[in-house]
Amino acid sequence: MTQYIVRRFLQAIPVVLIVSFLIFILINMAPGDPLARLQNPGISKEDIQQRYEQLGLNDPVLVRYGRWLGDFVQGDLGYSMGSSHKPVSEMIGERIVPTLYLTLGSLLLSIIVAIPIGIISATRQYSIFDYIATIGAFVGVSVPNFFFGLLLLFIFSLKFPIFPSGGFTKAVGVNNFWTHLHHAILPILTLGLARVASMTRYMRSSMLEVIKEDYIRTARAKGLSERVVIYKHALRNALIPVITLIGLSIPMIFSGAVITEQVFSWPGMGKLLISSVWKRNYTVMMGIDVIMCVLVYVGNFAADVLYVVVDPRIRYD
């Protein structure tokens, strides 16, 4: 098991390298000159040229990437190109917790809601419940998440002010678990809806497959109660493809988080990315892109480990 985990982890390294290199090249293609603000009659061409040399901007792109990578593995993502000149790692550090709160929250929501609905839909196929759940799932995967977010904001924050309209913390007073949750409910619902919907459909079809199997008939023939058959024998097998889906949907959750954070002024990495895009703050963009990809990898990795735990047929070696 440990060996499997280590190997799986090592496999991720080349992918992160390639992805970060591609993003590096992409961002290097950006128009503009980092020293453009120095261009004025008071500074000689030679001085500017020297400054380029000092900053290593004349080096080939591979050399500069190598330097970036060397800093990256030491946890240094460079400095913001904005007026603050804060270290990028520090800026991301401030934003990562709200983003993880939002993404993990909606993942948790989708698991808690979708699995029971999927089970009931499958065990009562073609019932009213199944019909409503199926239509609901279609609506859920078709609604753009920011539109759903705007609707929630409109109804529950403007018309009936039950929830705050944005942010992760109260401006005044003590912030505890409940105030964070109070702020997070609408964003988590927004980001979670599509996940709930697609996971419900997956859970339903997976459960329908499983309950047709011979071992389920055997379990019933043994005289086990329907409850034990479904929740003990069928569920565990039906969960396997759902875990695959969780792994596959992690990139989409991060994508969705960017828009959701924008709708709810959520102080996460997505909002920071959008604001740095407008300020052409390339070091921050680079840092966020790479960290997001790393987070996706960590998520996929967790799903893989979970997969092995649920499915004992998978061998670790």
Binding of another protein at residue 133 (CB under 8 A)?
A: no
How far apart, in whole angstroms, are the C-alpha atoms of residue 88 and residue 267? 15
Report the chain's C-alpha Rg in angstroms. Answer: 24
The residue within the footprint of another protein, chosen from 30, 62, 162, 298 (CB under 8 A), is: 30
Shortest distance, CB of residue 19 to another protein, whole angstroms?
6
The Cβ-side half-sphere exposure at 223, using a 13 Å CA radius, reads 0
The residue within the footprint of another protein, chosen from 89, 156, 255, 305 (CB under 8 A), is: 255
Binding of another protein at residue 304 (CB under 8 A)?
A: no
Part in contact with another protein (CB under 8 A); list of ranges 110-118, 174-182, 275-283, 307-315: 275-283
Overall size of the chain counted in residues: 317
Shortest distance, CB of residue 221 to another protein, whole angstroms?
26
Residues in binding contact with another protein, number by CB under 8 A: 50
Cβ(187)–Cβ(264) under 8 Å?
Answer: yes
User: CB neighbours (10 Å) of residue 314?
Assistant: 12
Tokens 């709930």, residue located: 196
Binding of another protein at residue 97 (CB under 8 A)?
A: no
User: CB neighbours (10 Å) of residue 276?
Assistant: 22
Part in contact with another protein (CB under 8 A); list of ranges 33-41, 61-69, 85-93, 290-298: 290-298
Binding of another protein at residue 18 (CB under 8 A)?
A: yes
Binding of another protein at residue 244 (CB under 8 A)?
A: no
**In sequence order, which residues have a C-beta less than 8 Å from that of residue 292 and are 6 or more positions away?**
254, 269
The residue within the footprint of another protein, chosen from 1, 13, 26, 62 (CB under 8 A), is: 26
Using alpha carbons, select from 188, 195, 211 the residue that is nearest to residue 140: 195
**In sequence order, which residues have a C-beta less than 8 Å from that of residue 297 and are 6 or more positions away?**
12, 15, 16
Using alpha carbons, select from 264, 141, 252 the residue that is nearest to residue 196: 141
Site for another protein in 147-176 (CB under 8 A): 147, 150-151, 153-154, 158, 165
Buried b / exposed e across 75-100, counting CB within 10 Å, b at 16+? eebbbbbeeeeebbbebbeebbebbe
Which residues on adjacent β-strands are paired with residue 79?
87
Binding of another protein at residue 256 (CB under 8 A)?
A: yes
Nearer to another protein, 113 or 252 (CB): 252
Nearer to another protein, 48 or 265 (CB): 265
Nearer to another protein, 196 or 273 (CB): 273
How far apart, in whole angstroms, are the C-alpha atoms of residue 108 and residue 246? 11
The residue within the footprint of another protein, chosen from 102, 229, 272, 293 (CB under 8 A), is: 293
Instruction: Note the residues at the interface with another protein (CB under 8 A).
Output: 15, 18-19, 23, 26-27, 29-31, 138-139, 141-147, 150-151, 153-154, 158, 165, 205, 209, 248, 251-252, 254-256, 258-259, 262-263, 270, 273-274, 277-278, 280, 285, 288-289, 292-293, 296-297, 300
